[in-house]
Amino acid sequence: MCEKCNLFYCGDCTLSSNGRCPACGKALISPEAVLMGMSPEDMYRNQDMPSQYQAINSLYLEPVRTIRRLMQNASLFTGVANITIVYMIIALVRLAVVFALLVFIVPMTSGGAGLQSVSAGISQLSSTSFIVNFLVSTFLWYGVFVIYWLVQSLILFAPAKLLGGRGTFAQQACLLSYAMLAVLPIFVFSLAAIVIPYGIGIPLAFLGNAVAFIYALLLVILIIKETNEFGKFTAVLSFFISFFITVALSAMVWSIIFLDTIITIVGKLLPVSI
């Protein structure tokens, strides 16, 4: 039913309108929830939660409806689980790419793609120093990855809240992790395409990255819109505010990292005083 219009709709109408009242656009509520004095969030919380695989498939086919469904069960714990899956897959793909480069691509381009070159590449990968360095870097970058996800979620959450959004930080962070899961297959394709020889891999990787960027952009705007019950204009405005904050913070971080280099360059450009 629609609380504003006091109209009732059947299941087919509810599905065709994406859970919104066709008359006024307000989110429809279950009559059972009205009779029991429960909110829609309490009515559907922890019920029929899709798996990660089901959620990703649904995000490809019905992104708006899936975001609304996932929003009712969003939690930081689920977000951390999603982020861990994303990072582990990226780490495995990274290892596979390094393996392909050392064992097949580099020997092939140097004209020595024989068994001796392949054996040398495998020996390099199985060395103790490589294994230790890979494990340490993987562990450290996992922490950086989690912090990046939390910071980016906060950057998306803060402007939306200032604009009157109704979402919570847990919802924003959790749904962002689902978006990263959805973009992951396209990213993996782009990463794997790099090792394709004969000049084919680079264009495919570039195309995959472009598709991943556009899809991620649309998903993030939809997440802001549905989580905070915004219109399209407010959702896009909130996203661009977050985008400019991200650019400003990135520029600040890189300036700090390269502060010594910047000071050296500026010192050489300034005239020497006597």
- Same structural domain, 62 and 153: yes
Report yes or no on 184 lying in a domain: yes
Separation of alpha carbons 229 and 232, rounded Å: 10
pLDDT in tens, the chain (274 residues): 776 766 777 777 777 777 788 878 778 876 554 444 445 455 445 455 667 777 788 788 878 878 887 887 788 998 999 999 988 888 887 777 777 766 665 555 555 555 555 666 666 666 777 778 778 888 888 888 899 899 999 999 999 999 988 888 999 999 999 999 998 888 888 877 776 766 777 888 888 888 888 999 999 999 999 888 888 899 999 999 999 999 888 888 777 777 666 666 666 655 554 4
Question: Could you tell me if residue 174 is inside a domain?
Answer: yes
pLDDT at 46: 47
> Do 130 and 23 sit in the same domain of this protein?
no
HSE-CB at 22 with a 13 A cutoff on CA atoms is 11
CA distances from 154 to 148, 150, 169, 252, 263 (A): 10, 6, 7, 17, 32
Same domain, 56 and 159: yes
Mean pLDDT of the chain: 78
Structural domain contains residue 207: yes
Residue 180 lies in a domain: yes
- Does residue 273 lie within any of the structural domains? no
Quickly list DSSP for 109-145. HTT--SHHHHHHHHHHHTSHHHHHHHHHHHHHHHHHH
Residues 107, 24 share a domain: no
Q: Are residues 1 and 106 in the same domain?
A: no
Residue 53 lies in a domain: yes
166 and 216 housed in the same domain:
yes
**Residue 165, domain member (yes or no):** yes
Give 2's strand partners.
Answer: 7
The CA-CA-CA angle for residues 163, 168, 173, to 5°, reads 105
Does 110 share its domain with 202? yes
Name the nearest CA neighbour of 182 among 143, 146, 222. 222
Based on the fold, state whether residues 95 and 149 are members of the same structural domain. yes
pLDDT at 120: 63
- The answer on 160 and 176 residing in a single domain is yes
Split into its structural domains, the chain has a count of 2
State which of 28, 44, 60 marks the end of a domain.
44
On whether both 197 and 156 belong to a single domain, the answer is: yes
Q: Are residues 34 and 57 in the same domain?
A: no
Same domain? 148 vs 16: no
Q: Give which of 81, 82, 53 is closest to 66, Cα–Cα.
A: 53
The reply to whether 274 falls in a domain is no
Q: Which domain holds residue 21?
A: 1-44
